[in-house]
Structure 1
């Protein structure tokens, strides 16, 4: 896991609080909690999904990263992969049954306050077990919670034509604190890597808003290394654009055409195959989504 700077630690806590408040305001501005955001989820269901994650993280950080005793979903967490996250989310929603937006947003804000309060008592780089037995630092857990708010706020805003922005600095925190850390210690989260050929493929990720890193797929394992100028693919990116692309909200073609990502390198044609293995879970895109 990477070292978390004091600047990043302060920034992710501040952004998590302000994004939770923005998300709550967005949900309350929705014309109806029954309005559909994706083919499967309404505003109420998507809000419940985000609130359930906040509740889970609040309990975990209160227990120094371990699942609280008696947690009904604790047994499923180590076995989740990018291919089974949807099933895990649906199981979570069956456990988390509240659907009233006012209650959900109040609970979300309370749990985010608790997350921040418990996080201040822990080292920012304390390893925490995550989905698929991956490992994240506490700061990475906060960055993931921040990104849940950002991406699902984007979903609701897109579907209902309500204003929502993903600040570049917030998306950069997601890349630095969550993405690079989860790829460095993916556990069982990326099971299809076991079916990839033995040849090494390396992708350098570069942005003026994040630290440079090289993600390597070799001998069916994923690792993150410092860039050394030797790579198959060089991907320069705008953090919000990369974030939305990785979660299926922005197509690769549109990301390239709009300059959100720029792909170069000696073997750029290897990127699509690489991304079929080194990928993040994607939910349904919002209704009316044109990207």
Structure 2
């Protein structure tokens, strides 16, 4: 998939008062990998993926190290932002990292998460950085790191039958990244010709609007016109849908999502307009 010519209104960086909460969450989620992976069941398959638990942990350790390097100001190219290039970069990096001991990888995940917060803490949150999904500011990169860890640790937890680390507060801290990333991960084929205005509300966390005009997505705080479809989602379900771990149908049938408006049936289609990074 190539990136669409989206007219994006980037979400602002997390407010200054949120930086400490973001850094604390990154550290806590990184540390959560240690007990989660402590039983060393690395050969366990990850449901719905081709990776084992050990391979998912290796990817996460590598990604945390990459983002810590970006936070430190290093130039670290990694694909071109398209799903195919990111998949190729993931495969290449896994081949270069032979370690598969879950306990060792868990320690690396936690260590690199702390390295990120140490490096980012010495810089302004509004400083621009180039990431695997394109340019964004440093605090949005922090939200990207948190989102990425939550997604893969969720997968590992499901594979191992353990509690996952996602909660409402952590979902709130991922929102700057999710808003920034949405126009960048539109599935050009699925969205071709699509025009509609969506009002997204996450219970307890506020909301924002996503407007499609002939397949291009624009994100803003308020809809530019009357919304065609308003979607109200529970926080954890919102993140899992955004990351491709829940389908909209699953969430709707479980009562995690409600939809209304002039075209409420669009709620079921909305997640399919994007390709999870």
Provide the secondary structure at the position in 1 that maps to 2:218: strand
Tell me the TM-score normalised to structure 1 length: 0.82
Structure 1 residue 194, shift from structure 2 partner:
9.4
Which ranges of structure 2 fall in alignment gaps of 5 or more residues?
1-9
Structure 1 residue 17, shift from structure 2 partner:
0.6
What is residue 21 of structure 2 aligned with on the other side?
Answer: 11
Instruction: Give the total of aligned pairs.
Output: 265
What is residue 286 of structure 1 aligned with on the other side?
Answer: none
What is residue 67 of structure 1 aligned with on the other side?
Answer: 75
* Higher alpha-carbon deviation: 203-212 or 255-264: 203-212
Provide the secondary structure at the position in 2 that maps to 1:29: coil
What is residue 262 of structure 1 aligned with on the other side?
Answer: 258
Q: Deviations over 1:45-69 (max 9, x none)?
A: 1100100110100111111xx524x
| Distance of aligned partners of 1:139 and 1:113 in 2 relative to their CA distance in 1, 3 Å threshold | same
Structure 1 residue 168, shift from structure 2 partner:
0.9
Q: Deviations over 1:173-227 (max 9, x none)?
A: 11x221012236x2xx436169611x53111111243342101111432211122
| Distance of aligned partners of 1:146 and 1:23 in 2 relative to their CA distance in 1, 3 Å threshold | same
CA RMSD of aligned residues (A): 2.3
Provide the secondary structure at the position in 1 that maps to 2:38: helix
**1:49 pairs with 2:84:** no
CA contact (8 A) 1:236 1:262 kept: yes
CA contact (8 A) 1:206 1:212 kept: yes
What is residue 42 of structure 2 aligned with on the other side?
Answer: 33
- Aligned to 1:239, which of 221, 235, 238? 235
Correspondence list, 1:66-105, <5 A: 67-68=75-76, 74=77, 76-77=78-79, 79-82=80-83, 84-105=85-106
Tell me the TM-score normalised to structure 2 length: 0.86
CA contact (8 A) 1:23 1:149 kept: no
